[in-house]
Structure 1
């Protein structure tokens, strides 16, 4: 299943891309489930980001490996791929793309996920959409002003 969210902001794409650090990661964390950051190496290939998801009743580990990163004159991106995922997820691929848009930028969250069951993927889609849509106001607040 694929999800592609776009957020237009007013700051330069390179400035926005360079801000993808531990502080931004924590600011983008959803209110539920709460996340406890266990490890944040960065966004270069080989870096690892690991969190513990706290649902109130249980804890689930999520570990992603940064597998790609590229910066050009018009856009920049990095990709995190799930290594250890909470059930029912079996695969996770998240491309964090920031592209030039006039004097500003467009932040793209391009997510491909699978549980191995198409019906369950369709049931999870609205939840994933809701969770990642919560990033838009954070992006606007942080990067909306030039």
Structure 2
């Protein structure tokens, strides 16, 4: 199965420094994750973000299935971007790039995810459901960030 791409953008009414501080603190993942996924960060939040960092959490991607997910922070450029890759978890492949850019009135946050589902043909059949779930998760995240920082106002 080939890689599937998912992307998202959101403007935040905060400085790039504040955005970086918030987005690179793995303790904030729970705030940005829908409650039904029952995310619990288990390991890896003791220090700020750095290349080589491992973050382990449990997540419930389906009502009847809970799993551990371990992500590896492979790249970090302070105040600009970081990359996490799944070492173990629900995807066959997961590569997530997080970018932030200063814009007038705040910060533009961009996510670019490449993923592949497990289980061959069965995974391929589940692709539309996973895409829909990712869209729901990112809508929740957008709402949570607006609740936390306020809405971005275009000038």
Alignment TM-score, normalising by the size of structure 2: 0.79
* Counterpart Cα distance in 2 of 1:110 and 1:22: 18
Q: Which moved more, 1:99-108 or 1:14-23?
A: 14-23
State the partner residue of 2:13: 10
Unaligned runs of 5+ in 2: none
Contact 1:93 1:111 in 2 (8 A): yes
* Counterpart Cα distance in 1 of 2:43 and 2:7: 26
> Is residue 128 from structure 1 mapped to residue 134 from structure 2 by the alignment?
yes
Over 4 Å off, 4+ runs = 116-119
Alignment TM-score, normalising by the size of structure 1: 0.84
Unaligned runs of 5+ in 1: none
Q: 1:124 to 1:22 in 2, by over 3 A?
A: closer
> Is residue 51 from structure 1 mapped to residue 54 from structure 2 by the alignment?
no
Contact 1:14 1:76 in 2 (8 A): no
Pairs aligned (count): 141
Q: Which moved more, 1:18-27 or 1:129-138?
A: 18-27
* Counterpart Cα distance in 1 of 2:33 and 2:85: 17
Contact 1:7 1:139 in 2 (8 A): no
Contact 2:5 2:112 in 1 (8 A): yes
Task: Name the Cα RMSD after superposition.
Answer: 2.2
State the partner residue of 2:86: 82
